[in-house]
């Protein structure tokens, strides 16, 4: 705990970092304020009753930070932006032009981010229409006026765009990854409600269930911290170089390869994708055609939150996105080139392509361990729910996974910025 709190305490003593932290907190405050501004024309009492009966909607509400159960102006949250990010990253594997952009450094990343923002708008309109249709079928929204429906869609789309802008502001002027931190803020904002529901359920259950819940919670947190901190150190030897009367190099350092290079992103991507079949099925169920509606009903039942198919797909998606995002963020060819450029080599491995192949070999295997762990943690609460009967565990496990990972990543960024400022102060 001291390791986590110490960088935060030291950051507050640094004026510019303190300003970044306070700016991030200010954006959190605005976000949570908007989360309680409802869109007119919705029966909130019926809406809360519907959410209390649907585990799927409860999970969506958890990741929207409570904006959905209040049907606020940010009701659909960051889901469209996350889906747009997934689509763009997949398209980079298909279209050579996008692949070239992804390799052009800061300019390429900015262009891809711009395409992601543009794609977010139509996705937001589609998801807002689907949300309206779902609530209309349940009698929560009674209006059929095209003008009112269009205004609801535009309002929800504007809320997503505003939230996306908040995330970019945090990334540029605040601390950490803005999108991840907003998802973190939303989950933390809903945690008191979920914990209260869990405690109420536990009070009605046997003592054994309480023990299961406590062990699971501590086990998940400890496991996430362990995996996030675990690294495989690759020794790198630098050859001696003589310049004039001085000898340079001849030292040995280590290249740290993390078990989980992708951080929390695979979980966010996976949960966004695995919820789509149920959301699509519930929307298509409203079509008058009986055959289509029956097929949609089957999709909803098959991908029921907490069901076997849902958990298997969720588990595989976490593993897949872990490898996918690791391949994007870690380039063995580039690392091998940098090592060779500075006169370094891995003992027993030739510089250049053999070094890149060796790094890829190691990374593939250690990433498998990290990916399986993340996937197991993601589905473990659903399994434990069947054992203990505590419904809130299905939501709690995934949310804890994201919260702990985001906290660790943000603290590491604070540590790196503190270290950088220490070096600057030393050199000046």
**pLDDT greater than 60 at residue 396:** no
**pLDDT greater than 60 at residue 252:** yes
**pLDDT greater than 70 at residue 198:** no
**pLDDT greater than 70 at residue 118:** yes
Same fold for the pair 1-198 and 205-391: yes
Helices 332-341, 353-388: crossing angle, 10 deg rounding: 140
Nearest-angstrom CA–CA distance, 56 and 132: 16
- Please say whether the beta carbons of 338 and 210 come within 8 A: no
In DSSP notation, 98-141 reads HHHHHTSHHHHHHHHHHHHHHHHHHHHHHHHHHHHHHHHHTTS-
- The CATH classification number of 1-198 equals 1.10.3370.10
Other beta carbons within 10 Å of 6: 14
Give the model's pLDDT for residue 301. 75
Give the model's pLDDT for residue 335. 84
- Give the HSE-up count for residue 156: Cα atoms under 13 Å, Cβ half-sphere: 30
Give the mean model confidence (pLDDT) for residues 90-94. Answer: 79
**pLDDT greater than 70 at residue 161:** yes
Positions of E strands within 152-288:
231-238, 241-243, 246-248, 252-258
Query: 205-391, what's its fold?
Result: Preprotein translocase SecY subunit (1.10.3370)
List b or e across 390-405, with b for residues whose CB sees 16 or more CB atoms inside 10 angstroms.
bebbbbbbbbbbbbbb
* Residue owning tokens 């640094």: 14
Give the mean model confidence (pLDDT) for residues 83-109. Answer: 79
pLDDT of 271-290, one tens digit each? 778 877 777 776 676 677 77
| Cα dist from 69 to 42, 227, 331, whole Å | 11, 34, 42
Comparing 64 with 79, which gets the higher pLDDT?
79
Comparing 241 with 352, which gets the higher pLDDT?
352
pLDDT of 51-73, one tens digit each? 766 656 666 666 666 677 778 88
Give the model's pLDDT for residue 425. 47
Give the model's pLDDT for residue 181. 85
Would you list the domain boundaries of the chain? 1-198, 205-391
């Amino acid at each position: 705990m001291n390791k986590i709190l110490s960088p935060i305490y030291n950051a507050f003593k640094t004026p510019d970092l303190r300003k970044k932290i306070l700016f991030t907190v200010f954006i959190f405050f605005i976000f949570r304020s908007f989360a309680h501004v409802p869109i007119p024309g919705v029966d909130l009492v019926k809406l809360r009753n519907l959410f209390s009966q649907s585990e799927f909607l409860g999970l969506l509400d958890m990741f929207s930070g409570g904006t959905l159960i209040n049907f606020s102006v940010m009701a659909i949250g960051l889901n469209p932006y996350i889906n747009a990010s997934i689509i763009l990253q997949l398209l980079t594997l298909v279209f050579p032009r996008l692949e070239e952009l992804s390799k052009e450094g800061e300019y390429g990343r900015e262009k891809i981010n711009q395409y992601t923002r543009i794609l977010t708008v139509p996705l937001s309109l589609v998801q807002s229409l689907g949300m309206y249709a779902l609530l209309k079928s349940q009698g929560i929204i009674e209006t059929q006026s095209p003008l009112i429906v269009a205004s609801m869609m535009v309002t929800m789309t504007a809320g997503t765009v505003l939230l996306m802008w908040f995330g970019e502001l945090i990334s540029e002027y605040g601390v950490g990854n803005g999108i991840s931190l907003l998802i973190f803020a939303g989950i933390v904002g809903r945690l008191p409600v979920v914990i209260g529901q869990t405690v109420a359920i536990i009070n009605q259950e046997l003592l054994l269930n309480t023990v299961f819940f406590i062990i699971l919670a501590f086990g998940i947190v400890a496991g996430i911290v362990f995996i996030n901190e675990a690294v495989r150190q690759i020794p790198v030897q630098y050859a001696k170089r003589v310049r004039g009367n001085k000898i340079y190099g001849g030292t040995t350092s280590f290249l740290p390869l993390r078990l989980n290079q992708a951080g929390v992103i695979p979980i966010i991507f996976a949960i966004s994708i695995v919820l789509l079949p149920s959301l699509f099925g519930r929307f298509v169920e409203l079509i008058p055609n009986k055959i289509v509606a029956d097929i949609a009903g089957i999709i909803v039942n098959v991908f029921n939150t907490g069901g076997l198919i849902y958990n298997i797909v969720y588990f595989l998606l976490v593993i897949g996105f872990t490898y996918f995002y690791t391949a994007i963020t870690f380039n063995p060819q580039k690392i091998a080139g940098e090592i060779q450029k500075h006169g370094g080599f891995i003992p027993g491995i030739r510089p250049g392509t053999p070094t890149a192949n060796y790094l890829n070999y190691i990374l593939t295997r250690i990433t498998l361990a990290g990916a399986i762990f993340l996937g197991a943690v993601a589905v473990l609460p659903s399994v434990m729910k069947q054992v203990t009967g505590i419904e809130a565990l299905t939501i709690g496990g995934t949310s804890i996974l994201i919260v702990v990972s985001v906290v660790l990543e943000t603290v590491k960024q604070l540590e790196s910025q503190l270290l950088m400022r220490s070096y600057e102060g030393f050199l000046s």
